[in-house]
A and B are shown apart, each in its own frame.
Chain A
Amino acid sequence: MKRFIAILFCMFPLLVAAQNYTISGTITDASNGETLIGATVVDTRSGKGAVTNLYGRYSLTLRSDSVSLKVSFVGYEPQTFRLKLNRNRNLHIKLKPSVMLDEVTITAERAGDTRSAQMSATEMTMEKIKSVPVMFGEADLIKALQLMPGVQSGSEGNSGMHVRGGGPDENLFLLDGVPLYNVSHMGGFFSAFNTDAIKNVTLYKGSFPARFGGRLSAVLDVTQNNGNDRELHGNLSVGLISAKFNLEGPIVKEKTTFSISARRTYAELLLIPVIMRFMDADEEPAPDVVSRAKYDAGYWFYDLNAKITHKFNDHSRLYLSFYSGDDKLHGKVNTVTSLGEDMYLGFSTQWGNLVSSLRWNYALTPRLFFNLSASYTQYHNDILGSVEKLASPSDPHPSTVSGDYKSGIKEGTLRADFDFTPNPDHDVKFGAYFTRHWFSPEVVEGSIDYFDSIQMEGALRMDTSRNAGVIPANDIVAFIEDDWSITEAVKLNAGLHLSAFKVQNSFYPSLQPRISGRVMLSPDLSVKAGYAMMTQYVHLLSTTSVTLPTDLWVPVTDRVKPMTSHQVAAGVFYTLSGIADLSVEAYYKHMNNIIEYRDGATFLYGIEFLAQRDFGDLSGWVGYTWSRTTHLFDRPGQVINGGREFPAKYDRRHDLSIVLSYKISPTIDVSATWVYSTGNAASLATRTYPVAQEDPDDYDNGLGYGRTISDVEGRNNYRMPDYHRLDLGANFHRQWKRCRRTIDVSIYNVYNRQNPYMLYRSTRDTYRNYPTALVQLSLFPILPSAGYTLYF
């Protein structure tokens, strides 16, 4: 290892030509000091350039000469500097936000655009997310990403992501570089990302840079706001089901900043009356229940994001990030039986994430940037049920029976990253990290506390537990990647990701090559291709199609091997100057050791088309995906569907999204979204036959006449009706002297399309429980919502 590092450090200086000098620094927003990620610095004379990293740092090494630097970033006014380069220079640049975007500003090299070597990547700005019409007045990062080609939602309103046919557990969600294991609130209708707290979002669907690993299908890299370093600012929002606020400002001006955002739902104000009305409308109560007097039920979730940033000097910064988000569903019913027994039946389930990280970065030299971080993340789920019986005339002894089901995962990581820019043709990222995992897949605890009249010995107290135990695991990773401009037209991003996972008696090393390249055919046209291998060491065991807290994260074992994927992708990218960016990408992905309570393989391929316009009064995008996703489970003992290939549940042949936003005036903008996709695949048995009987005269076998077995002819053999809907939205802005406000109004599913959420066989209004119809359940009809945000 020492030899490897020594060679590495010896090699790169050789790439640096004599009499070269480096310009380095940070690019920030002039209005608030926020660092800008992905801003470009280009020497217009030589054509050489650099892009700011995740911390707003850039490094550009040029020959000693007079240089003309053009600094640009989407949404900001470009700046030009002329300087004589006869020594290394620190150049910290502040860009002013532009009032009106036009095509001139679109010169930055962003992941996934025509000039970058990176492909299969999508960047999402907060402005773009907030311009999309929303459900319940709540802008949602994941739902906006679901409108991009290659990204699909699981089911209606769900914030799970299926990227290029992959499962929702195959996505790596990073918040300030730290994994989030559960990104869903309210069963998946909302994501855990509060848009007020976010600065930058990049989704990688393929051609993964070597610095990422651990999941098969996607990486969503989310960066939180650092906070305004000049003055206190914030906003306060009220929506249909939640309220939130964001506050940011300097603790020490231009040195130390803070940013804090919080969101809390008040959906229970609406839901509890609904629940109670349903309970009141219940049919005749059980014979021994004479009254049901008291209810107590509720549901809420909250998110809290916080970040403190301290700038020691121009070369060194410290970041402390924190996120906590929990959901809680609880209820309690009081019943009094005819025996006079007074009982309380209660349940509660609470689940959520806790994430924190401490990060220090330091520019060791103008060309070498160092980042050291320690982070901790955990996901927990706790389900509690209890029956409490009070003393009564029939039984003077109170008793309590309770059960508690817990599962979760914790992990701590130490990470060191280096960003080395020996010359404008190379941008080398390398580093290593160590992660310690603690999996608690399932802990069940029960307790009984009652007076045992049978034994007549007195009170009985019993505690039981079934504990799968804490399973520790270690994960060590090293990576290196180089963004290499071979010629003006040819660029390559090549890297290696080496990981090793140790759990119990199993040790799984994996060497994952990553490569992607770009060839510029003209200043506006490029072709790209890439390959990436990924390995995943954790599985989400889920029994349902929706995101539930009962889903379990478990590590690989000696029998359950790591999942692996190989993905190749190729595409054409074209910038239609002044009009839009166009791209067409095709991919093929093969995944092995996929877990669906069996062990099998998945084949995924498709083609994605994207036309998007990020500037002008009219902006938006059109995305279309043609794809196919099939599973094959044919290994001995692991057979599903008779060993035949079958479509995945979310195998959708066509997926189309049209998102348009139009600025009518400085105070009003409107938006519209139309989505269409092929219906989900579902297993539907249309033929039945009777249950076997021992007694030929036992017509009903005691189980109801005609009790039948369904002949499930094939997994996912039936297509649900197609999905489509139109959403409309409008934002009304008003500026006052010291603050401004936005009223957003949106209508979800404008033409009230009854989209399929699930199908079931109805047995209503029948004596013998025959199915009478195949019924489609739809979740959201036309749904207007509104929100109010005050910025100060």
Chain B
Amino acid sequence: MRHKFPISNFQFPVLLLLFFASCEKVIPIDDDPSAAKLVLNGLPVPDSRAFVYFAHTGFFLDPSTDHPVAGASLTLTANGIPYTSDSVSRCRYFFPYTVAEGDTLGIHVSTPQGDIYGQTYVPYRPRLTDIAVANRAPGTALRYYRALFTLHDLPDYREYYNLTVSVRDSGLRRNDWQRTIDTIDTVRTTYFLLAENPEITGSNSLVIPMMGYLYTRNLFLDSAINGQPCRIALDILNIVDTNEIPPFKHEYTVTLQSLTPARLRYLIDVSRQTSSGNFFTEQSQVRSNLDGALGVFAGAASSSFSFNPDTLR
């Protein structure tokens, strides 16, 4: 009599063993200190103290993030006036100057490894008026809010806008957290770039659940609305978690940022590199607008308003 082996009892474990016995192994790779490069990051915004981050790149398996550069001298030029760095903390170099809208800024770093140069300007804050927020679905558990506001675009001035929504959430089940946005979704950006109608309307797809968080970002040019008031409507998903144990609080913040072209390119590059991090695609390089270093030196200015959904009717 022949024996019968049910697949789940005999072949299956063998197959699994064969498939997964040796699928992964660690590749030894050593750091090469000579390959370290200089990095300078500076994102000046109005009414903030000017500072830049200046350091070496680190080995990717090294958990420490700050790699100071010895013997560096940093000078910030604001509207033609030089300011020397007066304090340093964790590779952050501070200058005795408060950034203002319309500033023209330059950075010069002198190091034994060479000099670094960069320059930018600081845009004007977007002017937002007629702000109104309403609950679009009172009495329902999982619906969304509509935020309305008017953007007054500056005439004769090419502007790149980054629209973000963040939510601050505090409750017993979640730690207090807040997300701000430093990347854009280039796919969704198309929606706005192609918008011909001055009335820009987002939908609930604007809110993107990622990695357990909810946030959104959108980018658009002023080419369709140059110099005209533009009414923007955003439908924002209510993220109330009915399993959450009170007391809890949600505070939504809508931010509109005016970007310099270098800041725009930086956002796009960072987004591309982040989104290319899957198994099958390669990472892309984040381009620098500096001479002599990786990083970015680019201004931005933003306006925002917040609302608490608990207060809405």
Interface residue ranges, A against B (CB under 8 Å):
269-270, 273-274, 287-288, 338-339, 394, 453-454, 543-546, 682-683, 685-696, 701-703, 705-706, 708-713, 715, 721, 752, 754, 758-762, 768, 770-784
Whether B12 contacts A270 by the Cβ 8 Å rule is: yes
> In the bound complex, how far is the Cα of B287 from the Cα of A692, in angstroms?
13
Given known pairs A690-B41, A777-B24, the reply for A685 and B283 (CB within 8 Å) is yes
Determine how close the nearest CB of chain B comes to the CB of A694; give it in whole angstroms: 5
Given known pairs A687-B35, A694-B43, A706-B65, the reply for A771 and B60 (CB within 8 Å) is yes
> In the bound complex, how far is the Cα of B215 from the Cα of A618, in angstroms?
66
Which one of B182, B273, B282 has the highest number of Cβ atoms from chain A below 10 Å of its Cβ? B282
Q: Is residue B225 contacting chain A, with contact meaning CB distance below 8 A?
A: no
Whether B61 contacts A772 by the Cβ 8 Å rule is: yes
Instruction: Kindly supply a per-residue 1/0 record for chain B positions 38-80, scoring 1 wherever the CB is within 8 Å of any chain A CB and 0 otherwise.
Output: 0101110100110101010111110101100000000000000
Among residues 66 to 104 in chain B, which have CB atoms less than 8 Å away from a CB atom of chain A? Answer: 66, 89, 92, 94
Additional 20 contacts, C-beta under 8 A, given A683-B283, A777-B24:
A270-B7, A287-B243, A338-B243, A686-B29, A688-B57, A690-B39, A690-B53, A696-B51, A703-B182, A706-B65, A708-B65, A758-B279, A771-B60, A773-B26, A774-B61, A776-B25, A776-B26, A778-B24, A778-B25, A782-B18
Whether A454 contacts B60 by the Cβ 8 Å rule is: no
Whether A711 contacts B7 by the Cβ 8 Å rule is: no
Q: Is residue B197 contacting chain A, with contact meaning CB distance below 8 A?
A: no
Whether B25 contacts A754 by the Cβ 8 Å rule is: yes
Q: Is residue B10 contacting chain A, with contact meaning CB distance below 8 A?
A: no
| Chain A binder among B154-162, B173-181, B305-313 | B173-181
> In the bound complex, how far is the Cα of B254 from the Cα of A500, in angstroms?
55
Determine how close the nearest CB of chain A comes to the CB of B42; give it in whole angstroms: 7
Whether A687 contacts B58 by the Cβ 8 Å rule is: yes
Determine how close the nearest CB of chain B comes to the CB of A251; give it in whole angstroms: 40
Which one of B21, B31, B60, B243 has the highest number of Cβ atoms from chain A below 10 Å of its Cβ? B60
Q: Which residue of A lies closest to B36 (CB)?
A: A687
Whether A288 contacts B36 by the Cβ 8 Å rule is: no
Whether A339 contacts B242 by the Cβ 8 Å rule is: yes
Query: Could you tell me the dominant secondary structure of chain B's interface residues?
Result: loop
> In the bound complex, how far is the Cα of B61 from the Cα of A686, in angstroms?
8
Can you spell out 14 A-B residue pairs with CB atoms less than 8 angstroms apart? Answer: A394-B141, A454-B140, A682-B282, A687-B57, A689-B39, A691-B41, A694-B45, A709-B273, A711-B285, A712-B282, A758-B279, A758-B280, A760-B279, A781-B21
> In the bound complex, how far is the Cα of B242 from the Cα of A338, in angstroms?
9
Whether B29 contacts A778 by the Cβ 8 Å rule is: no
> In the bound complex, how far is the Cα of B27 from the Cα of A777, in angstroms?
10
- A709 to chain B: which residues have CB within 8 Å? 270, 273, 286, 294
> In the bound complex, how far is the Cα of B141 from the Cα of A691, in angstroms?
37
> In the bound complex, how far is the Cα of B29 from the Cα of A771, in angstroms?
13
> In the bound complex, how far is the Cα of B39 from the Cα of A137, in angstroms?
54
Q: Is residue B16 contacting chain A, with contact meaning CB distance below 8 A?
A: yes
Determine how close the nearest CB of chain A comes to the CB of B19; give it in whole angstroms: 7
Whether B22 contacts A774 by the Cβ 8 Å rule is: no
Q: Is residue B137 contacting chain A, with contact meaning CB distance below 8 A?
A: yes
Whether A288 contacts B7 by the Cβ 8 Å rule is: no
Whether A686 contacts B35 by the Cβ 8 Å rule is: yes
Q: Is residue B121 contacting chain A, with contact meaning CB distance below 8 A?
A: no
Which one of A687, A689, A715 has the highest number of Cβ atoms from chain B below 10 Å of its Cβ? A689
Given known pairs A706-B65, A781-B19, the reply for A711 and B57 (CB within 8 Å) is yes
Whether B60 contacts A692 by the Cβ 8 Å rule is: no
Whether B182 contacts A701 by the Cβ 8 Å rule is: yes
Query: Could you tell me the dominant secondary structure of chain A's interface residues?
Result: loop
Determine how close the nearest CB of chain A comes to the CB of B88; give it in whole angstroms: 11
Which one of B35, B55, B57 has the highest number of Cβ atoms from chain A below 10 Å of its Cβ? B57
- A783 to chain B: which residues have CB within 8 Å? 18
Q: Is residue B208 contacting chain A, with contact meaning CB distance below 8 A?
A: no
Instruction: Kindly supply a per-residue 1/0 record for chain B positions 214-258, scoring 1 wherever the CB is within 8 Å of any chain A CB and 0 otherwise.
Output: 000000000000000000000000000111000000000000000
- A546 to chain B: which residues have CB within 8 Å? 280
Whether B42 contacts A692 by the Cβ 8 Å rule is: yes
> In the bound complex, how far is the Cα of B53 from the Cα of A696, in angstroms?
8
Whether B137 contacts A454 by the Cβ 8 Å rule is: yes
Our count of residue pairs bridging A and B at CB distance below 8 angstroms stands at 173
Whether A685 contacts B60 by the Cβ 8 Å rule is: yes
> In the bound complex, how far is the Cα of B63 from the Cα of A679, in angstroms?
29
Using a Cβ–Cβ cut-off of 8 Å, how many residues does chain B contribute to the interface with A?
Answer: 71
Determine how close the nearest CB of chain A comes to the CB of B194; give it in whole angstroms: 11
> In the bound complex, how far is the Cα of B270 from the Cα of A288, in angstroms?
33
Whether B43 contacts A690 by the Cβ 8 Å rule is: no
Q: Which residue of A lies closest to B140 (CB)?
A: A453
> In the bound complex, how far is the Cα of B177 from the Cα of A758, in angstroms?
35
Determine how close the nearest CB of chain B comes to the CB of A467; give it in whole angstroms: 15
Given known pairs A687-B60, A771-B61, the reply for A288 and B284 (CB within 8 Å) is no
Determine how close the nearest CB of chain A comes to the CB of B145; give it in whole angstroms: 11
Determine how close the nearest CB of chain B comes to the CB of A268; give it in whole angstroms: 12
Whether A752 contacts B26 by the Cβ 8 Å rule is: no
- B31 to chain A: which residues have CB within 8 Å? 686
Whether A759 contacts B243 by the Cβ 8 Å rule is: no
Whether A273 contacts B12 by the Cβ 8 Å rule is: yes
Whether A712 contacts B284 by the Cβ 8 Å rule is: yes
- B89 to chain A: which residues have CB within 8 Å? 696
Q: Is residue B15 contacting chain A, with contact meaning CB distance below 8 A?
A: yes
Whether B27 contacts A775 by the Cβ 8 Å rule is: yes
Q: Is residue B136 contacting chain A, with contact meaning CB distance below 8 A?
A: yes
Whether A687 contacts B37 by the Cβ 8 Å rule is: yes
Q: Which residue of B lies closest to A770 (CB)?
A: B63
Whether B41 contacts A711 by the Cβ 8 Å rule is: no
Among residues 116 to 159 in chain B, which have CB atoms less than 8 Å away from a CB atom of chain A? Answer: 136-137, 140-141, 143-144
Q: Which residue of B lies closest to A269 (CB)?
A: B7
Q: Which residue of B lies closest to A286 (CB)?
A: B212
> In the bound complex, how far is the Cα of B274 from the Cα of A710, in angstroms?
9
Choice from A288, A690, A711, A772 contacting B37 with Cβ under 8 Å: A711
Whether A686 contacts B59 by the Cβ 8 Å rule is: yes
Q: Is residue B32 contacting chain A, with contact meaning CB distance below 8 A?
A: yes
- B266 to chain A: which residues have CB within 8 Å? 692
Whether A706 contacts B63 by the Cβ 8 Å rule is: yes
Given known pairs A543-B281, A687-B35, A688-B57, the reply for A781 and B27 (CB within 8 Å) is no
Whether A696 contacts B29 by the Cβ 8 Å rule is: no
Which one of A454, A705, A774 has the highest number of Cβ atoms from chain B below 10 Å of its Cβ? A454
Determine how close the nearest CB of chain A comes to the CB of B281; give it in whole angstroms: 6
Q: Is residue B106 contacting chain A, with contact meaning CB distance below 8 A?
A: no
Choice from A273, A339, A696 contacting B94 with Cβ under 8 Å: A696
Which one of A270, A692, A695 has the highest number of Cβ atoms from chain B below 10 Å of its Cβ? A692
> In the bound complex, how far is the Cα of B22 from the Cα of A775, in angstroms?
12
Determine how close the nearest CB of chain B comes to the CB of A186; give it in whole angstroms: 14
> In the bound complex, how far is the Cα of B284 from the Cα of A754, in angstroms?
28
Determine how close the nearest CB of chain A comes to the CB of B185; give it in whole angstroms: 15
Q: Is residue B296 contacting chain A, with contact meaning CB distance below 8 A?
A: yes
Q: Is residue B172 contacting chain A, with contact meaning CB distance below 8 A?
A: no
Whether A702 contacts B63 by the Cβ 8 Å rule is: no
Whether A686 contacts B60 by the Cβ 8 Å rule is: yes
> In the bound complex, how far is the Cα of B144 from the Cα of A693, in angstroms?
31
List 8 A-B pairs, minimum CB-CB distance, nearest first.
A544-B280, A692-B41, A687-B57, A689-B39, A712-B285, A781-B22, A454-B137, A683-B282
> In the bound complex, how far is the Cα of B51 from the Cα of A4, in angstroms?
77
> In the bound complex, how far is the Cα of B90 from the Cα of A705, in angstroms?
14
> In the bound complex, how far is the Cα of B61 from the Cα of A710, in angstroms?
12
> In the bound complex, how far is the Cα of B51 from the Cα of A754, in angstroms?
49
Whether B296 contacts A692 by the Cβ 8 Å rule is: yes
- A774 to chain B: which residues have CB within 8 Å? 26-27, 29, 61
Whether B58 contacts A274 by the Cβ 8 Å rule is: no
- B36 to chain A: which residues have CB within 8 Å? 687
Determine how close the nearest CB of chain A comes to the CB of B230; give it in whole angstroms: 24
Whether A693 contacts B43 by the Cβ 8 Å rule is: yes
- B43 to chain A: which residues have CB within 8 Å? 692-694
Q: Which residue of B lies closest to A546 (CB)?
A: B280
> In the bound complex, how far is the Cα of B20 from the Cα of A783, in angstroms?
11
Determine how close the nearest CB of chain A comes to the CB of B178; give it in whole angstroms: 6
Q: Which residue of A lies closest to B92 (CB)?
A: A696
Choice from B21, B60, B136, B173 contacting A688 with Cβ under 8 Å: B60
